[in-house]
Structure 1
Amino acid sequence: MSRFGTSAFGQLIVRLVLVSRWAMVPLFVGLAVALLLLVIAFLRTLWMFGTHLFVLDETQVIMALLSLIDLVLVGGLLVIMIQSGYENFVEKIDRRQATNSPEWMTRISFSGLKLKLFASLLAISAITLLKALMRLEVDVSEVQVRWLMAANVIFVVAYAVLALTDRFAHADERTEE
């Protein structure tokens, strides 16, 4: 039983807490709009890459491709956040009505969501580091590369800690059953 018991005030608090999740909906809609803007940015980058392909050197081609990959990873990150965030924080999506919904969306847990998000961030960080290493002789200082490497190491360590924590938490859940 809650601290407030079954009083009208207690029921109002519970109702307010349950309804507050709907405040997340405009945030997810905003992320969907951001995804559309990202698609436009991707197409613009792809167009610029295609129209300048024959005047780019090898390093510039690789940099352009890495930029496209970076945009795709951010797009994937947005899709994961929008769909699984909505299901985890607002309400379950009825898969009978959403027949074109990806199968993996029915299987992702909050723990899996955290790991997928972290893996995407780690990949984006690694691509940023690779792009900086490729520009090292041109316009990136060694200090910037060191900071990017430190950030990458922090992401890897944090990902490992998160994965281990989740593994131990699930092991504890299995032993309690």
Structure 2
Amino acid sequence: MERLIENTLFASRWLLAPMYLGLVVTVAALVWVFGVELVRFVGQIPSMTVDNAILGVLALIDLSLAANLLLIVIFSGYENFVSRMDFKEHEDRFDWQGDVDFSALKLKLVASIVAISGIHLLKVFMDIEKYTDAQIQWMIIIHLVFVVSGVLLAAMDWIANHAKALKRSKLPKT
């Protein structure tokens, strides 16, 4: 009975596979939005101001960062929780693939959120007259919460890794 329960629990990891496939659909949606934004951006080039050019480029960078984040979550999540991908010899295999554990995934996720939030905040500053002081204040507070959360998460991971290394070094050698 114990073996049956353990096999069922282990096999349940495959329930996550449709979620990762769903995230691939969201990458496709971001590619579509990127294309629409790019066409709109290119159409405005003849009458574009410097500020509008920077805002348009920031919007495209924002979309590409979000897509990059999704790919990291898809690949590392699948490999960490569902199954290893057998592409070790493939020439296009990512250097980080197979090396991003859950801890590193969390840090990459928070770092990407901070970068996306920073870009959004920069876009707000470039078009500041559209926002009230209260809206800008809340956006800054939210961004700072993301930054502080990222620093605290990194510190917690560093402490946990340091504690593990210290514990390993105190184990008797066999």
Per the normalisation by structure 1, the TM-score is 0.90
Q: Does 1:166 align with 2:160?
A: no
CA distance in 2, matches of 1:100, 1:127: 29
Residues 88-134 of structure 1, C-alpha deviations (whole Å, 9 max, x = no match): 11011123465532121132222111111110000001111111122
Residues 79 and 98, structure 2, Cα contact 8 Å, conserved in 1: no
Moved over 4 A (4+): none
- The structure 2 residue matched to 1:45, chosen from 37, 55, 78, is 37
Distance of 1:81 and 1:98 partners within structure 2: 20
CA contact (8 A) 1:21 1:90 kept: yes
Q: Structure 1 regions of 5+ residues with no counterpart? A: 1-7
Amino acid of the structure 1 residue aligned with 2:81 = F
Aligned to 1:20: 12
**Which 10-residue stretch deviates more, 154-163 or 97-106?**
97-106
Alignment partners' CA distance in 1, 2:145 and 2:165: 30
Q: Normalised by the size of structure 2, how large is the TM-score?
A: 0.91
* In structure 1, distance between residues paired with 2:165 and 2:7: 32
Once the two structures are TM-superposed, the CA of residue 173 in structure 1 deviates from its matched residue by 0.8
RMSD, aligned CA: 1.3
Alpha-carbon distance between aligned partners in 1 of 2:76 and 2:158, rounded to the nearest angstrom: 20
Please state how far the C-alpha of 1:83 moved relative to its aligned partner. Answer: 0.4
Count the aligned residue pairs: 168
Q: Report the AA paired with residue 109 of structure 2.
A: L
Q: Alpha-carbon deviation of 1:58?
A: 1.8
Aligned to 2:172: none
Distance 2:90 2:77 in 1: 16
Contact 1:28 1:82 (8 Å CA) reproduced: yes
CA–CA distance in structure 2, aligned partners of residues 80 and 47 of structure 1: 27
Tell me the equivalent position of 2:132.
Answer: 141
Structure 2: how far apart are the matches of 1:129 and 1:145?
Answer: 8
Compared with structure 1, are the counterparts of its residues 13 and 98 closer, same or farther at alpha carbon in structure 2 (3 Å cutoff)?
A: farther
Aligned counterpart, 1:86: 78
State the identity %: 36
Q: Which residue of 1 aligns with 2:50?
A: 58
In the superposition, relative to structure 1, how do residues 26 and 172 fare at CA in structure 2: closer, same or farther (>3 Å)? same
CA distance in 1 between partners of 2:84 and 2:91 (Å): 14
Q: Is the 8 A contact 1:45 1:68 kept in 2?
A: yes
